[in-house]
Amino acid sequence: MSLLEIVLISVGLAMDAFAVAVCKGLAMKHGSTKKGIIIALYFGAFQAIMPLIGYLLGIKFEKAIETVDHWIAFGLLSAIGLNMIKESLNNDENDINDNVGFKTMFILALATSIDALAVGVTFAFLRTNIFIPLIFIGIITFCLSFIGVKIGNKFGDKLKNKSEKLGRNYTNFNGNKNLVRPF
């Protein structure tokens, strides 16, 4: 597996964590580097551990399914791709807050890393050396998650200020037909 392929897989796997990290950043009242690091550590660690678990499971069952392993790998990667497309089109709002407690982060990190488990199984079927991809997946997810928290917090602050201005101008509107532009 080439370095470019490893990086692309790593970035693809990190996208769910990045999206949740942006939402966590939006929910934060004040930018917190400590919370950003905690979020990034959870997501990075889970994204690195889940492919290892998948890899070990794939190796264990390899002999039993070796005649169809390439089809299983194809199916898993196809399912992951279709799920990513479905999630990108989904407009559901999630209840996201700035809590970084163990229970909250464990559930979020587990939920965003299920696809990494499937990728680990695929690595086993393709007989890929797992350690380099694990390092890349963990580091790239950590970095993108931390950046996501910072981006979310930055936009959250900007949107909050603009929405407060809009609210003040709307409540001060005294019946004139020309509403003062709030921005």
Q: Which of 153, 129, 154 is nearest to 39 (CA)?
A: 153
What sign has the CA pseudo-torsion 106, 112, 118, 121?
negative
What tokens were used for 23?
């939402």
Q: Give the Cα separation of 70 and 88 in Å (integer).
A: 27
Dihedral sign computed on CA atoms, order 86, 91, 43, 6: positive
- With the C-alpha atoms ordered 84, 45, 22, 91, is the resulting torsion angle positive or negative? positive
Total residues belonging to the chain: 183
pLDDT tens profile 108-167? 898 888 889 889 988 988 888 999 999 999 999 999 999 999 999 888 766 666 655 555
**The one-letter amino acid at 144:** L
Judge if pTM exceeds 0.85: no
Q: pLDDT tens for residues 4-56?
A: 999 999 999 999 899 999 989 888 877 788 999 999 999 999 999 999 999 99
